[in-house]
Structure 1
């Protein structure tokens, strides 16, 4: 069973998405990279977490790592362009992100990748989303987190700078833009603490993974 720690701020609330605009806080990272953060963008996010937990056909994956095949330490589901999203709130979120970022990005968000971190043992290693166009072009990846907050760490690729930490959950939004996928890396580390489950929803443009 997947444990979950509800937020008192979200208790009993209907799921609603707030505005973006001036509520978004941008932080330049250097080397052409930046991040935008909008805390508690989704109100009633605990209810959305429960709906996604039940509605999404989660599956495990195995991947080659060095000379062996290992389990991916989280559950996954990818929704490709044109595929119906598992909850109408996600479609609304994508439309609002398009309205806010399309002029700057030059295109719309097309896909949604969902990850379920069941507890502190689930994680994602240091990486950039550089499969596809993200390896050579500036792009954006918008992540909405629901469920128990987990740290998202960012550091410059190749070292030479600080490691940044953002606790994301309960409806928080973070957008990584500019050269962030090429010049910075991000990770969700493992934890030995008792941690409830978190779902992250990553909206990406066409050809970015």
Structure 2
């Protein structure tokens, strides 16, 4: 992987802006946009249950509970199985699931959070592949005032591991800019309960 380290104290973050070439990334985007059973998930935020401000699809070998909702997995499409195999070869992560998110336009978003569910373990490895329109990804320190913005481009790979989830929050804020659709794939290993 020709990735660069992103300096965040107490975190282990790598970024490769060209992990997938443009043609294969476009083919994967089209296959997933048209082929996945996209859903509007219900999530609980600060005690309120709301429609998520994006479409999602949970895929994998195990169910996963986050934001107060249990998600049963859809089977692996062939296109995603190939991406998982490549990530396995490069990261040795034992990925058994992926959350696919479809951001339809600049209004679709993901608020600040950390992936801290017990089923992910104390220092989860999360591999995030971006397809389609470029969106700004924000890191914010849980303690102190550290922040960092990173543009996630078409075909890029962001890898978060070590203490990243313990020490940092992350988000994809809305934008008023006219942007096209984006698919984000967050590969992870969910441990049995």
2:183 aligned residue: 199
Unmatched runs of 5 consecutive residues or more in structure 2:
63-73
Q: 1:131, 1:164 → 2: CA distance? A: 23
Secondary structure of the residue aligned to 1:47 is helix
User: In structure 1, what is the equivalent of residue 27 of structure 2?
Assistant: 47
- CA distance 1:206–1:65, change in 2 (3 Å): closer
CA 1:113 to 1:67, structure 2 compared with 1: closer, same or farther past 3 Å? closer
Q: d(CA) in 1 for partners of 2:91 and 2:44?
A: 35
Quote the residue 1:118 is aligned against.
104
- CA–CA separation in structure 2 for the residues paired with 1:155 and 1:66: 19
In structure 1, C-alpha distance between the alignment counterparts of 2:49 and 2:3, rounded to whole Å = 40
CA contact 1:52–1:87 (8 Å) conserved in 2: no
Q: d(CA) in 2 for partners of 1:181 and 1:122?
A: 23
1:147 and 2:126 equivalent?
A: no
SS in 1 for 2:137: strand
Asked if structure 2 preserves the Cα contact closer than 8 Å seen for 1:73 and 1:122, the reply is yes
Give the secondary structure class of the aligned counterpart of 2:96: strand
For residues 46 and 161 of structure 2, the distance between their equivalents in structure 1, rounded to whole angstroms, comes to 30
**Equivalent residue of 1:99, what SS?**
helix
- Residue 79 of structure 1 corresponds to 59
Using structure 2 for the length normalisation, give the TM-score.
0.85
CA distance, structure 2, for counterparts of residue 57 and residue 133 of structure 1:
24
Displacement over 4 Å in runs of 4+:
none
State the 1:67 CA deviation: 5.5
Structure 1 alignment gaps of length 5 or more: 1-19
Partner Cα distance (1:201, 1:173) in 2: 9
Larger radius of gyration: 1
Q: CA deviation at 1:206?
A: 2.2
Deviation at 1:193, TM superposition (A): 1.6
Deviation at 1:66, TM superposition (A): 3.9
Could you say which residue in structure 2 is the equivalent of 1:164? 148
